[in-house]
Every structure is written in C-alpha cells, then in structure tokens.
Structure 1
Amino acid sequence: PGNVRELRNAADRFALGLDLDIGPAADQPEATLADRVAAHEKALIAASLTAHGGSLKETYEALGLSRKALYEKMQKYGLSREAFIAEG
C-alpha cells in the first residue's frame, strides 16, 4: 500500500476474508463478530507496523492510539516489534 487509505483498505479486505491469498480469515466464514473485529484490529496494527518499519511511535500516532494501548494490543495479538523492523 502506498498511503494510509490503501493500507486501511488492504487491512479491511484481509479482515473480511475477501483476498484468499492473504491469510486464514477467509477460511473461517463462521467466525463471530468479535473474532472478525479482533482479526481486523490485528491486521490494521500489523499493516501499520509494516508501513512504519516497526516504529511504535509512528504506528500509535497513525492509528490514533496511546503508546500504552498499542503495547497492550500488540501483546494481546502476539505481535512483536522486531518482526516489523525494516532492514536497511
């Protein structure tokens, strides 16, 4: 994705299971609303971390979260900053 809108659209498609090549959400159409919301939230956070090269500050600012809220959500979804740090 080239900008925040494209990033959000990609995360939306992923969470709704519309792109079968992206991940397991497409394989679980019987998922509850809470499961789908959680998958969407995790996908948005992961996509934002990717877009910002693992920068937590840029990520929580882009998502409109506090630093604490981002840390808590990353822990909840098993996301590690190290997995998103851009090599260069």
Structure 2
Amino acid sequence: MSSSEAILKTLEVTMYRCDLREKQRTVLWMLLQGKEKKEIANTLHLSEEAIRKHQRTIYNKLGIEGKSQLVKWVIEQIS
C-alpha cells in the first residue's frame, strides 16, 4: 500500500464521522493532493463555484477555516 493510500484509508473514517458526502470526500482528497479548484472542477465536470461551495462545506463540517488548518487537521488525524 502506498503512503497516499494509507493516508486516505486513515482519513476515510474521520470523513464519514464528519458526515462528508462522497463528492465532498473526493474534493477534499483532490485538494489534499494539491490540485487547484479549476482542475478539480474540470475533472469532476463541475463549475469552480460548485467546488468553492464544496470546499466551504468541507471546512464547516471539519470545524476549520482554511488550508493551513486543513493541513493541521490532516496531521492530527494521521498521527
């Protein structure tokens, strides 16, 4: 199992616990991979505004306010 797969598996439990829906989990994983909103939108066949809404919803459900807190959240989950 690659390190990315191991991290995803660890985060999946928390994502379900935080009630993230499938699309939100996909967007979150793509953000964690460093993809830009435009690239995510093109890949998922959504508008950039839809990706921004998903991102806001994800942050709200995780109780965070931005990317730096997202990084901290991920580190806490995999520790």
Q: TM-score, normalised by structure 2?
A: 0.49
Which of structures 1 and 2 has the bigger CA Rg?
A: 1
Between 1 and 2, higher relative CO (CA 8 Å, sep ≥ 6) is seen in: 2
Structure number having the greater helix percentage: 2
Question: TM-score under structure 1 normalisation?
Answer: 0.46
